Structure 1
């Protein structure tokens, strides 16, 4: 659903909690395959510290390595 919202509304800045990132990680690397997320230019994590593995996954899978 997150990918659909990003695509539909051309979201370019995405902030979310590390808990949400880890929840998405649990679904695997293909969780966002149904969306392009081309509009994203900035990712952020708020509310609590994020571990390096979750940040790398967030950058790579959600942010398309941008």
Structure 2
């Protein structure tokens, strides 16, 4: 079992600079256009592409197995 740091250890993440209400504020949405690039959108797009590639690979693999079974029996 990995050793846990003591409860008094400092957090590796910096403290939040702004409260949650700031990030949820409708005024903040008006500052940037909706299609403006952001790191969060880039991460989400990359993650979706990665998961899509895995799903496609699994689908093609399953199809090849079924095709092999069908052609092998005939």
TM-score range for the pair, normalised by the shorter chain length: under 0.3
Name the structure where strand makes up a greater proportion of residues: 1
Normalised to the residue count of structure 2, the TM-score between the two structures is: 0.20
Greater relative contact order (CA < 8 Å, ≥ 6 in sequence): 1
Name the structure where helix makes up a greater proportion of residues: 2
Larger Rg: 2
Normalised to the residue count of structure 1, the TM-score between the two structures is: 0.21
